[in-house]
């Protein structure tokens, strides 16, 4: 059973990579996505260091970037999973912000891990190969 699940996961990843290679992302703002990536990396340090103000600033940048991504993917018909990934990311960032505001950095760390996982899932499905 385990081998079948692993094989299915590998097949999905390969299919997603091939599909992503065929999508046209020429109108995509790569700078926005890189800013979001930087914010996630900084958030990891901010949450670990219990730096609430910096964490909130980076979380706001991530929230704004996800709002942009939501608008971008809402206009597309060839990326059906993207809206769900964006919505999931927005929910997780909102939870992260609440956790940081209440100084619950353990919860914030869990929220951050969930954001990273969601971003990775979207990238696996839609990020074109370099």
Q: Which residue has the tokens 């990536």?
A: 37
SS3 content of the chain, % helix, strand, coil (to 5): 80, 0, 20
Dihedral over Cα of 108, 102, 50, 87: its sign? positive
Mean pLDDT (whole number) for 50-71: 97
Axis crossing angle, helix 30-48 with helix 105-126, rounded to the nearest 10: 150
Report pLDDT for 23: 85
Report pLDDT for 19: 47
Structure tokens at 45: 């340090």
Torsional class of 110: left (φ above 0), alpha (ψ -120 to 50), beta (otherwise) = alpha
CATH number at 62 reads 1.20.120.10
The share of the chain scoring above pLDDT 90, in percent, equals 72
How many domains would you assign to the chain?
Answer: 1
Q: Say whether pLDDT at 89 is over 90.
A: yes
Q: What is the pLDDT of residues 29-59, one digit of tens each?
A: 889 989 999 999 999 999 999 999 999 999 9
Mean pLDDT (whole number) for 51-77: 96
Q: Could you give the C-alpha distances from 122 to 5, 23, 69, in angstroms and in order?
A: 20, 14, 11
Global pTM value: 0.79
Report pLDDT for 18: 42
Range of the domain at 14: 2-126
Q: What is the DSSP letter of 127?
A: P
């Amino acid at each position: 059973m385990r081998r079948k699940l692993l094989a299915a996961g590998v097949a999905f990843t390969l299919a997603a990579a091939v599909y992503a290679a065929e999508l046209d992302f020429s109108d995509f703002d790569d700078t926005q996505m890189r800013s979001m990536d930087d914010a996630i990396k900084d958030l990891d340090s901010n949450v670990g260091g219990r730096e609430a103000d910096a964490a909130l600033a980076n979380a706001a940048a991530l929230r704004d970037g996800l709002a942009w991504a939501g608008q971008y993917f809402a206009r597309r018909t060839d990326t059906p999973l993207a809206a769900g990934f964006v919505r999931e990311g927005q929910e997780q960032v909102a939870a992260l912000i609440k956790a940081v505001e209440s100084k619950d950095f353990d919860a914030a760390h869990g929220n951050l891990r969930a954001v990273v996982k969601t971003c990775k899932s979207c990238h696996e499905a839609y990020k074109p190969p370099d």
